[in-house]
């Protein structure tokens, strides 16, 4: 660091201008970063779950390409409402990127005429006065193909299904579609209260809310950090230097994401607040050391050299260990988690590089003696006085401190035992958001909108048109709707039963027991171009599809249902191959993958950090001293989640990685400073006291900054983001307590023996 510091002192303007030039080049790619939310993007291409979903997509089409509009009125079947519905449907069909619009206006009634099937609309749109509304209502609500899809059983609520063209189902196009829908609906808002749902709608609204929150929280966090820095330093440079570092770090990280094909999605959106807070910490530690050197009377150039010699390597080590914590997520099979870990780790290293380049050069060019205004404010004297007392407390009562810390840790460890893995599709949204209100409308009034798909491969063409196979679909439906979370299940058997009711004299809704009759019904549907036929069966009548609609019951319950159904499927379909897939399955499976891959990643990170500690300190007692304060915050945050009944899910699981990164950072700063003080003072007790006072001050300042930055997340409309804010702030506080109380007390208890060498110059 000595030669590097001398180079910085010689060419400070070159360093500053170089950073400005690179920053200007980074602006364009950063401004063009795209945003998306795609469940398939969470999986590697060769994942079995994705292969199953792609089979559904290839044979029957996607189950996540429809936006639903719904409204409720007691006068649904009246000329005025139906006229509005006809007009509305026509306008929706004119929207770009739309493949089809389906409502009760397009619903076809299956009838018999001279032993032939005929299809005609339920509603005569040419002359509405000719319609018998009570009869139409009774017919539609009695049709199992439409009840729970287009209309509720009471006939008071209806849905319009807007299907997006598969080739144009992108985030940008969906935004355009939603804007067009809103413009059209605005003309009818005075008469109807519309509700929107469907996975494409949810994805885009989620991302849009996320984007607005990212910008808002960067702004709010920046303002709070600026105010706190001003209170602490009372100089413009004390505010400007750290903020330039973190803003430049964010700019470079986002630009790098864009240049390497990355984009913003659910997990990567949290990179900004993490880097914003973590980046400030490096600057504060180094500024604190620089001011200490200036306070001792060193000239500016020597103060900068001492800052680099003392903290350059220590800050590098904290950055590397923090980066390792995030980089361990690269081992995950979940692609956004892998990218989140990679880009956050890169961002942490960028924050270090920018700090080590910009800060010495900026300090060299500044005309202020110290960054902090030593003539104003009482915070520093108060902190120094308090830390001096704390150092004495630890020295005299270290056993009590450790016993109390161990007792608290055990209590929180007990709380961890109640943690459960469970995530819902709408887990992240508060109940009062429009998305949640609309989702409840469909779930309570028409039917839930989360599909669980079953693909049944009979193994031979035409075999799907047999009573034995379709009867098995009936049995599957009975098993499915027996679950209170599943409200509706339809398949080829439903369609054939409806045709048989029309064609038979008895008019009973049941399967014909003749394979010939079933084949004839399918032929009649085919020659009459009844397109809905191929929603349930493939073209050679070998593979069948059954679609069930479930509540947002949570990944734990969905996986329980799936396990039970797998057992039942094996009993029902002994000869057929059955695949269970769909968006609901993708979401539930993803929760488990994220959580368990995260557990493995944390284990890898702890192993890597332990090896680094062993290589650095070469003293097993120091390694224990270093690791214990880093594990305590993890246990505490897990215990708090357990006591508060907060489930482990994709949005909360990442908190453990953040907790590990933050805890390691402060511990290494403390230990690095202790080594230096020990070499200078040649004794442990005065070295610990000096370290607690000097490094403790910087640790407290960085903790306040982190709490201010992450604390803004508590106001989020996303419950997971708000919970992240609460839990991360709790983690930061627990890490601070562990570093200031337990870490020095461990020194007094274990009394590690260190070699005494000449102190660094």
pLDDT tens sequence across 559-592: 899 999 999 999 999 999 999 998 888 888 877 7
**What HEC string does 473-519 produce?**
HHHHHHHHHCCCCEEEEECHHHHHHHHHHHHCCCCCCCCCCCHHHHH
Q: How confident is the model at residue 267 (pLDDT cuts 50, 70, 90)?
A: low
pLDDT of residue 673: 80
In the block, which residue shows the tokens 């849009």? 208
In order of 225, 396, 748, the CA distances from 400 in angstroms are: 36, 9, 12
* Separation between Cα atoms, residue 678 and residue 759, nearest integer Å: 8
Tokens encoding 9 = 């002192």
In angstroms, how far is CA 61 from the centroid of its own chain?
Answer: 27
* Separation between Cα atoms, residue 570 and residue 479, nearest integer Å: 13
C-beta pairs of 28-32 under 8 Å, 24+ apart in sequence: 29/254, 29/255, 29/258, 29/259, 30/251, 30/254, 30/255, 30/258, 32/258
Find the angle CA(264)-CA(170)-CA(442) to the nearest 5 degrees: 95
* Separation between Cα atoms, residue 286 and residue 289, nearest integer Å: 5
Question: In terms of pLDDT, which residue wins out, 416 or 269?
Answer: 416
Q: How confident is the model at residue 714 (pLDDT cuts 50, 70, 90)?
A: confident
* CA proximity to 512, closest of 521, 258, 364, 414: 521
Burial, 232: exposed, middle or buried (Cβ in 10 Å; 0-12, 13-18, 19+)?
A: buried
* Separation between Cα atoms, residue 55 and residue 57, nearest integer Å: 5
Tokens encoding 259 = 């240049």
Residues 6+ apart with CB under 8 A from 57: none
Q: 377's torsion region: left (phi>0), alpha (psi -120 to 50) or beta?
A: left
pLDDT of residue 601: 76
Q: What is the DSSP string of 171-228?
A: HHHHHHHHHHHHHHHTTTTTT---EEESHHHHHHHHHHHHHHHHHHHHHHHHHHHHHH
Tokens encoding 111 = 């009838």
**Tens digits of residue pLDDT in 299-323:** 888 888 888 887 777 788 888 888 8
pLDDT of residue 97: 92
Q: How confident is the model at residue 162 (pLDDT cuts 50, 70, 90)?
A: very high
Measured in degrees and rounded to the nearest 5, phi and psi for residue 644 equal -90, 5
Q: Answer yes or no: is pLDDT of 375 > 70.
A: no
Q: Answer yes or no: is pLDDT of 5 > 70.
A: yes
In order of 193, 348, 567, the CA distances from 105 in angstroms are: 19, 57, 41
Question: Which of 358-367, 469-478, 725-734 is the most confident on average?
Answer: 469-478
* CA proximity to 279, closest of 665, 554, 738: 665
pLDDT of residue 64: 76
Tokens encoding 745 = 């007390």
Enclosing H/E stretch for 424: none
Q: What letter would DSSP give residue 156?
A: S
Measured in degrees and rounded to the nearest 5, phi and psi for residue 581 equal -150, -155
Q: 26's torsion region: left (phi>0), alpha (psi -120 to 50) or beta?
A: alpha
pLDDT of residue 317: 81
- Per the CB < 8 A criterion, the answer to whether 157 and 72 are in contact is yes
**Tens digits of residue pLDDT in 487-540:** 889 999 999 999 998 888 777 889 998 999 999 999 988 888 887 888 899 999
Is 453 in a helix, a strand, or coil?
strand
Enclosing H/E stretch for 574: none
β partners of residue 100: 163
List the end-to-end C-alpha distance of the chain, in Å, as a whole number: 11
In percent, the amount of the chain with pLDDT more than 90 equals 30
* Separation between Cα atoms, residue 129 and residue 109, nearest integer Å: 19
> pTM of the full predicted structure?
0.75
Question: In terms of pLDDT, which residue wins out, 107 or 721?
Answer: 107
In order of 89, 364, 583, 706, the CA distances from 199 in angstroms are: 20, 55, 9, 35
Can you give the length of the chain in residues? 761
Q: What letter would DSSP give residue 539?
A: T
- Average confidence (pLDDT) over 651-657: 74
In order of 122, 198, 215, 317, 525, the CA distances from 141 in angstroms are: 11, 22, 47, 68, 22
**Tens digits of residue pLDDT in 656-670:** 777 777 777 778 778
Burial, 91: exposed, middle or buried (Cβ in 10 Å; 0-12, 13-18, 19+)?
A: middle
**What HEC string does 42-91 produce?**
HCCCCCHHHHHHHHHHHHHCCCCCEEEEEEECCCCCCHHHHHHHHHHHHH
Q: 234's torsion region: left (phi>0), alpha (psi -120 to 50) or beta?
A: left
**Tens digits of residue pLDDT in 326-342:** 887 787 777 777 888 88
Burial, 441: exposed, middle or buried (Cβ in 10 Å; 0-12, 13-18, 19+)?
A: buried
């Amino acid at each position: 660091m000595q030669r590097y510091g001398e180079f910085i002192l010689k060419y400070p303007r070159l360093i500053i201008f170089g950073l400005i030039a690179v920053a200007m080049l980074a602006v364009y790619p950063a401004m063009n970063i795209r945003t998306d939310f795609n469940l398939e993007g969470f999986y590697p291409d060769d994942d079995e779950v994705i292969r199953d979903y792609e089979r559904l997509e290839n044979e029957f089409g996607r189950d996540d390409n429809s936006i639903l509009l719904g409204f409720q009125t007691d006068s649904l079947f009246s000329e005025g409402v139906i006229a509005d519905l006809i007009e509305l449907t026509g306008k929706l069909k004119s929207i770009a990127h739309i493949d089809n619009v389906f409502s009760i206006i397009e619903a076809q009634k299956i009838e018999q005429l001279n032993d032939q099937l005929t299809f005609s609309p339920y509603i005569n749109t040419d002359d509405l006065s000719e319609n018998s509304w009570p009869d139409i209502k009774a017919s539609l609500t009695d049709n199992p193909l439409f009840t729970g899809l287009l209309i509720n059983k009471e006939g008071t609520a209806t849905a319009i299904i807007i299907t997006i063209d598969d080739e144009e189902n992108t985030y940008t196009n969906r935004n355009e579609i939603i804007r067009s829908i809103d413009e059209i609906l605005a003309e009818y808002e005075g008469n109807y209260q519309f509700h929107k749902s469907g996975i494409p709608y949810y994805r885009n609204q989620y991302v849009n809310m996320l984007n607005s929150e990212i910008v808002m929280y960067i702004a709010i966090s920046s303002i709070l950090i600026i105010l706190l820095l001003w209170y602490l330093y009372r100089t413009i440079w004390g505010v400007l230097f750290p903020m330039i570092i973190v803003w430049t770090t964010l700019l470079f990280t986002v630009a790098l994401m864009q240049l390497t094909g990355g984009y913003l999605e659910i997990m990567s959106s949290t990179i900004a607040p993490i880097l914003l807070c973590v980046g400030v910490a490096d600057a504060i530690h180094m500024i604190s050391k620089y001011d200490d050197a200036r306070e001792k009377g060193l000239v500016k150039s020597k103060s900068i050299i001492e800052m680099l010699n003392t903290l350059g390597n220590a800050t590098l080590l904290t950055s590397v260990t923090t980066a390792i914590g995030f980089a361990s997520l690269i081992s995950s099979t979940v692609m956004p988690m892998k990218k989140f870990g990679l880009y956050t780790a890169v961002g942490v290293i960028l924050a270090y590089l920018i700090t080590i380049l910009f800060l010495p050069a900026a300090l060299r060019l500044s005309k202020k003696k110290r960054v902090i205004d030593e003539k104003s404010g009482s915070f520093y004297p108060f902190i120094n006085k308090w830390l001096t007392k704390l150092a004495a407390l630890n020295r005299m009562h270290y056993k009590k401190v450790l016993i109390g810390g161990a007792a608290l840790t055990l209590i929180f460890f007990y709380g961890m035992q109640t943690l459960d893995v469970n995530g819902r599709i709408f887990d992240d949204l508060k109940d009062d958001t429009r998305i949640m209100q609309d989702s409840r409308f469909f779930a309570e009034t028409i039917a839930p909108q989360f599909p669980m798909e079953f693909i049944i491969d009979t193994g031979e063409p035409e075999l799907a048109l047999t009573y034995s196979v379709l009867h098995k679909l009936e049995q599957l439906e009975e098993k499915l709707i027996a679950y209170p979370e599943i409200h509706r299940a339809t398949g080829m058997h439903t369609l054939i039963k409806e045709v048989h009711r029309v064609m038979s004299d008895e008019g009973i809704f049941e399967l014909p027991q003749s394979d010939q009759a079933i084949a004839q019904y399918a032929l009649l549907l085919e020659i009459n171009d009844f397109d809905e036929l191929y929603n349930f069966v493939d073209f050679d009548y070998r593979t069948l599809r059954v679609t069930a609609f479930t509540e947002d019951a949570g990944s734990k319950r969905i996986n329980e249902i799936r396990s039970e159904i797998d057992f039942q499927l094996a009993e029902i379909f002994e000869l057929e191959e059955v695949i269970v897939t769909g968006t609901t399955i993708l979401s539930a499976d993803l929760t488990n993958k994220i959580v368990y891959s995260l557990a493995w990643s944390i284990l890898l990170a702890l192993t890597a950090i332990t090896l680094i500690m062993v290589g650095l300190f070469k003293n097993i007692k120091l390694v224990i001293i270093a690791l214990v304060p880093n594990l305590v915050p993890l246990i505490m945050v897990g215990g708090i989640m357990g006591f508060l009944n907060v489930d482990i899910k994709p949005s909360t699981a990442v908190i453990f990685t953040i907790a590990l990164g933050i805890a390691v950072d402060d511990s290494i700063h403390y230990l690095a400073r202790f080594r230096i003080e020990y070499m200078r003072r040649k004794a442990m007790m005065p070295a610990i006291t000096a370290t607690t006072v000097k490094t403790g001050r910087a640790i407290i300042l960085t903790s306040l900054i982190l709490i201010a930055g992450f604390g803004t997340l508590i106001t989020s409309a996303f419950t997971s983001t708000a919970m992240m804010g609460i839990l991360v702030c709790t983690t930061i506080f627990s890490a601070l307590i562990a570093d200031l109380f337990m870490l020095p007390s461990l020194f007094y208890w274990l009394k590690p023996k260190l070699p005494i060498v000449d102190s660094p110059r």
